[in-house]
Structure 1
Amino acid sequence: MLHLALPHDPENWDPHQPPFTVSRAVARQIAETLVDQDPRTGEIRPWLATEWEADADSRNFTFRLRDGVTFSDGQPLTARSVRANFDRIVELGPMAYVGANLLAGYEGTTVLDERTVRVSFSESNAQFLQGATTQTLSLLADATLQRTPDEVARGEVIGSGVYLLEDYRPGEKLVLRRRPDHPWGSGAVDHRGPAAFERVDLSFIPDPTTLVGALVSGQVDAAYPLDVATLGAIPEDRITLDSRTGSGISVPLVPLLHRTLMKEAAVRRALNHATDRQAIADRIFQGRVRPATSVLTRATPGWVDMTEYLRHDPARARQILEEAGWQEGPDGIRRRDGERLQIEIRYSGSGSTYEQMYQLLQHQWRQVGIDFRLAPTTPAQMSEYSIYDAPYDLSSWSQGRNDPDVLRVVYSSFYENQSFFFGRPVREIDDALLAMQRTVHTGKRAEAAARAQRLILRDGYSIPLFDSVGTIGWGREVATIPFDAELKPSFAGARPAGQEKP
């Protein structure tokens, strides 16, 4: 048995619904995708499909399914299964906004024969093949698809994965049981056949320090994801750590554009120059993360260095604010027309690493005359608002994906997503994001990705702070737990100590 601790209850392991790290990590073990992505080379590899081809303009994708694949309830995987899953994702709409974005322009799926399927789009969709490797486009059995989204969220999600859900106790643990009849595997994972661990117990330990303590003491065999700020307390002679820069969006602060102050480009631009990212990396994360240099992390294909918009330059920040009419008041905080330059963030997790980072930003921003108000609250209170009506100015989230198209999924105005742009189009940004999606030519697609990054940062639509890092740790009873291309653990490839590769 493998006993692994998570920082919180995933609560929803329907792969089509939640975009959150822990939820995606659990769903990845239960359900599988047509293709996978090699975490070392980025190459697209076979999984549930053994062959595939796209037409010249990437509008039609044909997949030939692996023979003999079954879901854990015995239902065979067929071309109709693929159609039913992709149709469901599109129908879920905002509830599956990541998947719906990956299927943008979806015209339908055609069953060519029992094991051959064609997925068609109204326009070129250059990102789709990589999108088909992500957990969001996993395939589920008919018995699951026939349930309502709420029933699936905490119900029996039936996939073709190497594990199946055996037990769930809210707030306490989730148990996965190995499928003995699983002879196939992903071409991106160095493993075939059933998993090495018969059972995986996932317990939930919210406090980062307690999570590390459970790992170091041997209370659990492994822990994921570990808070980077706690890694210094881990004895690396007894605990193996695998820590890597993630692909996707750099961890940002997000200006909420429905708020009066955040509508002002000068204020947003000043925040980027007032931020000392190197100090955040060194003081909050003990040098274990790298300062953000763009909207994308360095590990993401299509990343371009945009340091010119993110350079720590307090004098420049003051100049931008003064030119916009913000004058320093008697208490050092700037004012204009009687209004104080006061910006608020609300967050859950008092005493957390993020709160410490916000406190450091509070000090940095005050040096240029900005009052950064911190308002810790409960998760229940946070859930009362969306980013479209939140009564505060900044939010924080990230999104992982090993393709620059993650920018479109997050920053477009034309799909329901996490973006503050939804319903508030910025034409130049939309054009760049659509070009990246529709352009098949590799060089031109890279140019579109660079243009999108530049436009997002030029007017401060994002305040990237540091490149996200995925870290898993395990003790002496475990030989390895490999990452997939998006830094989710692969329990299929995990092995106990002393066991050779199959």
Structure 2
Amino acid sequence: MTSPTTHRRLRIAAATAGLALAGQGLTACGSDTVSGAGDRVEGGTITYAHVQEPPCIFGGWIQQAYISRQVLDGLVTQDEDGSVKPWLATEWKVSEDGLTYTFTLKDGVKFTDGTPLDAAAVAYNFEQFEHTDLNGTAKVSIDPYYKKARAIDATHVEIALNKPYPQFLTLITQGYFGIQSPKALKTRTKEQNCEQPIGSGAFTVEEWKKGEEVVFKKNPDYTSWPSTAKHEGPAYVDELRWKFVADGVSRYASLTTGQTDVIYEVPTVNWKDAEQKFDNTIRYITPGKPVSFYINTQQGIFTDKLVRQAFAYGADRKGAVETGFHGVIPYEGNPSVSQSTPDYNSDAADAYAFDQDKANELLDEAGWSEKNADGVRTKGGRTLSAKLVYGAGFIFTSEGATVLQALQEQWKEVGFDVKLVPATMAELWGGKYSDPSTFDATPSYWTSPSPAILWIVWRPSTEALPNYNNRSFYNNEELSRTIQAANSELDPATATELYKKAQQIIQDDAAGIGLYTQNTTMAVANNLKDVWVEKSQGEPIFSDAYFVE
């Protein structure tokens, strides 16, 4: 971490916790008085402690959207009230039939390799989103609605859709839609673009020290800040050091001892302490699919709806979440969209409140009426066993794992034998648990500022058009028709009712089971100001941040 000379330099506690952070000195090049906050220091280095290290700087995981947001600019952004605001695009028009979007771009914007960020560059990126593996989440966010993009002239780009998709503008506010230099994408290797993508953003990637940090340098020629920015101009600071610190104890200690200036995912056991110590603590509930259980409806014990419902009733999920996360992370009973997502169905969220008598009744009705010596229910020589695979250390922290362990004990009380199987990122995303024969339940999340996330996650999977995101293997044609109708409905009120209906279908069939909301929590040192998170996904923004003394 670096900061003004008054900043603390205690190292002992963080070092004891296993955190190695090099100190960097700050030189004040000048200062301005900030009302009520002291003098603003020009320059300096922000040291930020994140949790997960992504496989690439950009990509389809939310953690990649967080980090690529520092380098890549988008066409549009989302304001606090959910409205879509200008960024690279200064304005846009939508045709009456909802099929054509015409964007007017800022003139004179350049990528940091010196090439123009013009309409041709934007069109090229959207074509790459749709037709290549540039960003899988960008692709599924616009499929099957996207048709083509073309440059009308240098500052006007037209994006055509196959059918109306009113959620389109909201979806492209996400960091997955950051615009990259076509020259870099065409002339450099995938590895080079993975490690040092070329954008037009407030920072550039200086170096990626694998397993330790990514070092960003200020882009002094930055001209393309979003309309939601807190200031106009290049970043105030000279450098941003994005550390990867998986251990929560070490991460929080790094902030309290002055090793870092900002940390992500404040351990919930430390949240109240952080609120007392630091002026800026951020708690943001991410929209989209919450951390909820995909339930394998194709193979195993959960092919029976009664057993799925018993599983939902059989454990005190709300109590486990409140205890495991010390009341900081909200429980989420709706498995398909979180409470911060537009068109949220709160009635669906209330289903399956903890009721072990009901769970026992349903299991008896389903024929699992006998128990073996271990107290596990049996039926026809089979045991009521479920293999629950979870992402250890990158989807679930140690606190999240504690929640699962509490639920495991409660499910045992009604006769389930739940085996918790921790999986690495390589295992979970490398295909080891992609087949329905490999798990019975798996908890995960998928961030999105739109209820159209329902189509991404719950679209039926067919041999001709597989949906690998439908991890419940749940094919319901009524659900499919309902979501598609909602996605193309031009009347907002009608669309809302359709999206709520879709959520109710999923909940009634117990095709998923709710658990808790995905969150961005951050704590910021008191001498660092104007760190904030953007609305669509909770991406941390450092381009407006500055030190004071």
**CA distance, structure 2, for counterparts of residue 351 and residue 245 of structure 1:** 17
Q: What residue number does 2:46 align with?
A: 2
Kindly report which structure 2 residues correspond to 1:255-334, keeping only aligned pairs within 5 A, or say none: 255-294=295-334, 295-305=336-346, 306-330=348-372, 331-334=374-377
The question of 1:495 aligning with 2:546 is answered yes
The answer to whether the Cα contact below 8 Å between 2:321 and 2:403 also exists between their aligned partners in 1 is no
Q: 1:297 to 1:235 in 2, by over 3 A?
A: closer
The question of 1:387 aligning with 2:451 is answered no
Q: What residue number does 1:154 align with?
A: 194
The answer to whether the Cα contact below 8 Å between 1:281 and 1:288 also exists between their aligned partners in 2 is no
The question of 1:375 aligning with 2:418 is answered no
**CA distance, structure 1, for counterparts of residue 523 and residue 534 of structure 2:** 15
Name the count of aligned residue pairs. Answer: 493
Superposed displacement of residue 48, structure 1:
0.3
Kindly report which structure 2 residues correspond to 1:396-407, keeping only aligned pairs within 5 A, or say none: 396-407=443-454
Q: Secondary structure at the match of 1:455?
A: helix
**CA distance, structure 2, for counterparts of residue 58 and residue 311 of structure 1:** 41
Q: 1:254 to 1:134 in 2, by over 3 A?
A: same
Q: 1:307 to 1:18 in 2, by over 3 A?
A: closer
The question of 1:34 aligning with 2:75 is answered yes
Q: Secondary structure at the match of 1:249?
A: strand
Provide, for residues 220-242 of structure 1, a one-character-per-residue CA deviation record: whole Å limited to 9, x for no partner. Answer: 11111334354255462246321
Provide, for residues 101-140 of structure 1, a one-character-per-residue CA deviation record: whole Å limited to 9, x for no partner. Answer: 3242322112211111110111111111111211112211
Structure 1 residue corresponding to 2:499, chosen from 442, 446, 449: 449
The question of 1:56 aligning with 2:103 is answered no
Q: What residue number does 1:436 align with?
A: 486
The answer to whether the Cα contact below 8 Å between 2:286 and 2:519 also exists between their aligned partners in 1 is yes
Superposed displacement of residue 483, structure 1:
0.7
After superposing the two structures, state which structure 1 stretch, 393-402 or 342-351, moved more: 342-351
The answer to whether the Cα contact below 8 Å between 1:388 and 1:420 also exists between their aligned partners in 2 is no
The answer to whether the Cα contact below 8 Å between 2:65 and 2:174 also exists between their aligned partners in 1 is no
**CA distance, structure 1, for counterparts of residue 269 and residue 96 of structure 2:** 47
The answer to whether the Cα contact below 8 Å between 1:99 and 1:137 also exists between their aligned partners in 2 is no
Q: What residue number does 1:78 align with?
A: 118
**CA distance, structure 1, for counterparts of residue 283 and residue 365 of structure 2:** 43
Superposed displacement of residue 351, structure 1:
8.2
Q: What residue number does 1:478 align with?
A: 528
Superposed displacement of residue 323, structure 1:
1.1
Superposed displacement of residue 8, structure 1:
2.4
The answer to whether the Cα contact below 8 Å between 1:99 and 1:136 also exists between their aligned partners in 2 is no
Q: Which amino acid aligns with 2:247?
A: D
The answer to whether the Cα contact below 8 Å between 2:102 and 2:157 also exists between their aligned partners in 1 is yes
After superposing the two structures, state which structure 1 stretch, 213-222 or 139-148, moved more: 139-148
The answer to whether the Cα contact below 8 Å between 1:173 and 1:202 also exists between their aligned partners in 2 is yes
**CA distance, structure 2, for counterparts of residue 351 and residue 186 of structure 1:** 33
**CA distance, structure 1, for counterparts of residue 293 and residue 169 of structure 2:** 30
Structure 1 residue corresponding to 2:169, chosen from 129, 142, 149: 129
Q: 1:97 to 1:278 in 2, by over 3 A?
A: closer
The question of 1:465 aligning with 2:507 is answered no
Q: What residue number does 2:382 align with?
A: 339
Q: What residue number does 1:22 align with?
A: 63
Q: 1:454 to 1:233 in 2, by over 3 A?
A: same
Q: Secondary structure at the match of 1:175?
A: strand
The question of 1:192 aligning with 2:235 is answered no
The answer to whether the Cα contact below 8 Å between 2:295 and 2:472 also exists between their aligned partners in 1 is no
Q: Which amino acid aligns with 2:486?
A: M
**CA distance, structure 2, for counterparts of residue 344 and residue 232 of structure 1:** 35
Superposed displacement of residue 471, structure 1:
0.4
**CA distance, structure 2, for counterparts of residue 310 and residue 497 of structure 1:** 50
Superposed displacement of residue 93, structure 1:
5.2
**CA distance, structure 2, for counterparts of residue 146 and residue 62 of structure 1:** 25
Q: Compute the RMSD of aligned alpha carbons.
A: 2.2
**CA distance, structure 1, for counterparts of residue 366 and residue 193 of structure 2:** 48
**CA distance, structure 2, for counterparts of residue 94 and residue 312 of structure 1:** 43
The question of 1:243 aligning with 2:283 is answered yes
Q: Which amino acid aligns with 1:398?
A: Y
Q: What residue number does 1:211 align with?
A: 251
Provide, for residues 156-195 of structure 1, a one-character-per-residue CA deviation record: whole Å limited to 9, x for no partner. Answer: 2001111111111110110111111113311122221101
Q: Secondary structure at the match of 2:540?
A: coil
Q: 1:32 to 1:142 in 2, by over 3 A?
A: same
Q: 1:144 to 1:255 in 2, by over 3 A?
A: farther
Q: 1:445 to 1:93 in 2, by over 3 A?
A: farther
Long gaps (5+) in structure 2: 1-44
Q: 1:372 to 1:233 in 2, by over 3 A?
A: farther
The answer to whether the Cα contact below 8 Å between 1:412 and 1:421 also exists between their aligned partners in 2 is no
Superposed displacement of residue 27, structure 1:
0.5
The answer to whether the Cα contact below 8 Å between 1:62 and 1:118 also exists between their aligned partners in 2 is yes
Provide, for residues 446-490 of structure 1, a one-character-per-residue CA deviation record: whole Å limited to 9, x for no partner. Answer: 011101111111111111111222101111231231110121111
Q: 1:379 to 1:399 in 2, by over 3 A?
A: closer
Superposed displacement of residue 384, structure 1:
5.0
Q: Which amino acid aligns with 1:301?
A: P
The answer to whether the Cα contact below 8 Å between 1:284 and 1:356 also exists between their aligned partners in 2 is yes
After superposing the two structures, state which structure 1 stretch, 407-416 or 434-443, moved more: 407-416
Q: Which amino acid aligns with 2:469?
A: Q
**CA distance, structure 1, for counterparts of residue 459 and residue 423 of structure 2:** 29
TM-score (norm 1): 0.92
After superposing the two structures, state which structure 1 stretch, 469-478 or 141-150, moved more: 141-150
Long gaps (5+) in structure 1: none
Identity %: 24
Q: Which amino acid aligns with 1:363?
A: E
**CA distance, structure 2, for counterparts of residue 259 and residue 230 of structure 1:** 41
Report the structure number with the largest CA radius of gyration.
2
Superposed displacement of residue 258, structure 1:
4.1
The answer to whether the Cα contact below 8 Å between 2:99 and 2:161 also exists between their aligned partners in 1 is yes
Q: 1:64 to 1:351 in 2, by over 3 A?
A: closer
Provide, for residues 217-268 of structure 1, a one-character-per-residue CA deviation record: whole Å limited to 9, x for no partner. Answer: 1111111133435425546224632112221112112113443223222222
**CA distance, structure 2, for counterparts of residue 252 and residue 214 of structure 1:** 31
